[in-house]
Chains A and B, each alone.
Chain A
Amino acid sequence: MSPLSLIRHRDRLLQALVLVGLVSVWELSSRAGWVHPFLLPPPSDVLARLFADMQSGAVFVDLGLTLYRAVTGFVIAAVLAVPLGILMARRRGVQWFFDPLISIGFPMPKIAFVPIFILWFDIYDTSKVIMITFSCFFPIVTATYSGTSHIDKWPLWSARSLGASESELLREIILPLASPAILTGLQIALPVGMITTIVTEMLMGGSGVGGAMIAAGRFADSVGVFAGIIEIAILGMVVIRALDWLRARLLVWHPENRAH
């Protein structure tokens, strides 16, 4: 093992120890009664609950539902927002029409639309997925538009002089050139989508991790609420890591993925 990787390993180990230390303090303060175990249940109880729910399969149903809603909403948003962002950057008419709408929509707290979406689309999956799509859409379209507007003219000129047509230019040259910015937009939108999923589940019910947490809260089951927090933390980490991995895979060519 090289000295550098030894240092890195030692760092990781120390970081893990800090984490274990904090959880131990939490456990101790709850067990010793320094805080009321109802307000802050000991982590061992929360873990025990998680294992029990895993055995019954309840965790996987909730996680699966939440993941399904989040991913569906996110993917629909990406499929709509990426082409629109590119077209806005390349076609004056499209930009003229959509720019004001997006300037208004981007900074708006999308969650304010929950009541109206419930009226329009009811409280079931359709309504939740539309809400998630709606909140993911703006960061993706904005990042795609700005990334595409700022791409270098040189590869475009090269492609034109090598015989690329206008539509080939969009697919073969502009899309890959804008992909770092597009991926950044997706990376910003993903946590937004996760938050929206949990909040809509909490507000509309219908199981999922958010729904399960609200239910636990109603029954004064603080251990259940904490179990939900841990599930969300793990799910969030997994999907964000997955997107990081996808970025590294898609951008192998980019200097950002080059060792120094």
Chain B
Amino acid sequence: MTADFGIKIEGVSHAYPGTQGLNAAGTLALKQTDLLIRHHEFHALLGPSGCGKSTLLYLIGGFIPVQTGSISTQKGPVTAPGPDRSIVFQNFALFPWKTVLENVMYGLQKKGLPEAECRDIAQAHIKLVQLSGFEQAYPSQLSGGMQQRAAIARTLAVDPDILLMDEPFGALDAQTRRVMQEELRMIWKRRPKTVVFVTHDVHEAVFLADRISIMSARPGRIEHQIDTGLGPERDESTLTDRRFVELGEQIWRLVREQAVLASRGGL
């Protein structure tokens, strides 16, 4: 009954309409993108800025309608957002009028869990992202990195089957980032799920992912796909693994190639 794919993206193009006068023709963000993400795979997405990574996540999330091609999950074609596909947005998108605790509890309440259980699960995830003591703070009282961690907690708390993350550690300092990477990998191992993880950090991608896709400069397509083949265990020692270092260099070259093309494209 279960298909062997997590997310199937076939021939997806996406054009943003232009504004009158300025860029009237619009922007083609994705062009004929094909990508098969395996069931419960940790998949990282790399590519130059503006190549359409966020756009692809929004399409999978169902936030913007699919114009051409198709996207489906085990639940069938994607048509609207739903709690089976939770997302951490690049800009956090917290609820500004809710405290950190209320933010994290929201998705749990929508699942219909009893209040006490919502609170416990929320507290556990707030602790996980090291925000204990800030449960009653409003987002506007937090630093960028703290807001980002609150958003991660809110999304992880609902334990979705498909987890979409758009540069989720982008606002964190190097140490916190490392801790969060290990936590995320652990959560994923404990409760397997399909993860699509967008990042600009090549080593972060290699450390976390089972497979890595590299997108071309805009209009984006999947240009390369690489199996990391690093095995399920990732820890300090992974960082010095010869394969880890080699992969890092190889992928760095491929990403750089696309970034150079992007800058030549006269963006």
Residues of A whose CB lies within 8 Å of any CB of B are: 154-155, 157-164, 168, 173, 176-177, 179, 251-255, 258
Q: Which residues on the A side are within 8 Å of B141 (C-beta)?
A: 258
Q: Taking A157-B81, A253-B138, A258-B141 as contacts, is the C-beta distance between A162 and B86 under 8 angstroms? A: yes
A159 touches B97 (CB 8 A): no
Give chain B residues whose Cβ lies under 8 Å from the Cβ of A163: 82-83, 107, 110-111, 158
Among A161, A162, A164, A254, contact of B96 (Cβ-Cβ < 8 Å): A254
Query: Count the A-B residue pairs with Cβ separation under 8 angstroms: how many?
Result: 71
> With A253-B140, A254-B140 in contact, do A161 and B81 touch (Cβ < 8 Å)?
yes
Minimum-distance CB pairs A-B, first 6: A162-B107, A154-B93, A163-B110, A163-B83, A160-B81, A253-B97
State the CA gap A160–B83 with chains docked (Å): 8
CB of B5 closer than 8 Å to a CB of A: no
B25 at the interface (CB under 8 A from A): no
A239 to chain B, nearest CB (A): 25
Residues of A within 8 A of B99 (CB): 253
Q: Which residue of B lies closest to A180 (CB)?
A: B97
Q: Which residues of B contact A164 (CB under 8 A)?
A: 110
Shortest A155–chain B CB gap in Å is 5
Residues in B neighbouring A173, C-beta threshold 8 A: 95
Q: List 7 A-B contacts (CB under 8 A).
A: A157-B93, A161-B81, A161-B82, A161-B83, A161-B86, A162-B107, A253-B139
Q: Which of A154, A157, A161, A177 has the most CB of B within 10 A?
A: A161
**B121 vs chain A, min Cβ distance (A):** 13
Given A253-B96, A253-B97, A253-B98, are A161 and B85 neighbors across the interface (CB < 8 Å)? yes
Majority DSSP secondary structure for residues of B touching A: loop
Q: A160 contacts B93, CB within 8 Å?
A: no
Candidates B92, B110, B138; contact of A162 at CB < 8 Å: B110
Q: How far is the CA of A177 from the CA of B138 in the complex (A)?
A: 14
When the two chains form their complex, are residues A158 and B89 in contact, meaning their CB atoms are under 8 A apart? yes
The reply on B61 being an interface residue by CB < 8 A is: yes
- B125 contacts partner chain A, Cβ-Cβ < 8 Å: no
Q: CB < 8 Å: which of B62, B83, B85, B96 contacts A155?
A: B96
| Binding site secondary structure of chain A | helix
* Measured CA separation A255–B80 after assembly (Å): 32
A168 to B85 alpha-carbon distance, docked (Å): 19
Question: Considering the chains assembled together, what is the distance between the CA atoms of A176 and B62 in angstroms?
Answer: 24
Q: Closest approach, in angstroms, between the C-beta of A123 and any C-beta of chain B?
A: 44
- Nearest Cβ distance between residue A61 and chain B, in whole angstroms? 41
A154 touches B110 (CB 8 A): no
The yes or no answer to B94 lying at the interface (CB within 8 A) is yes
Q: Does B16 contact A (CB under 8 A)?
A: no
Which residues from A are CB-within-8-Å of B139?
Answer: 253
Residue of A nearest to B83 (CB): A163
B61's nearest neighbour on chain A, judged by CB, is A161
Give A175 to B63 CA distance when docked, in angstroms.
Answer: 21
Most buried by A among B63, B95, B106: B95
Name the residue in B96, B97, B140 with the highest tally of chain A Cβ atoms < 10 Å from its Cβ.
B97
- Which B residues are CB-close (under 8 A) to A154? 89, 91-93
Minimum CB–CB distance for A159 against chain B, Å:
7
Chain B positions within 8 Å of A252 at CB level: 138
A45 to chain B, nearest CB (A): 51
Contacts of B93 in A (CB 8 A): 154-155, 157-158
Is B63 touching A160 in the complex (CB atoms < 8 A)?
yes
B200 to chain A, nearest CB (A): 20
- Is A155's CB under 8 angstroms from B81's CB? no
12 further contact pairs, Cβ within 8 A, besides A161-B85, A163-B111, A254-B96: A154-B89, A155-B95, A158-B87, A158-B93, A158-B94, A158-B154, A159-B106, A161-B81, A163-B82, A163-B107, A176-B97, A251-B97
CA distance A155 to B192 in the complex (A): 27
What residues on A are CB-neighbors of B63 within 8 Å? 157, 160-161
| B 110-133 to A, binary, CB cutoff 8 A, 1 in contact else 0 | 110000000000000000000000
Measured between beta carbons, the chain A residues less than 8 angstroms from B62 are: 161
A169 to chain B, nearest CB (A): 11
- Bound-complex Cα distance A195 to B75 (A): 59
Smallest beta-carbon distance B244→chain A, Å: 33
A253 proximity list for chain B (CB < 8 A):
96-99, 138-140
> Once the chains are docked, how many angstroms separate the CA of A168 from the CA of B83?
14
Is there an interface contact between B80 and A160, defined as CB atoms closer than 8 Å? yes
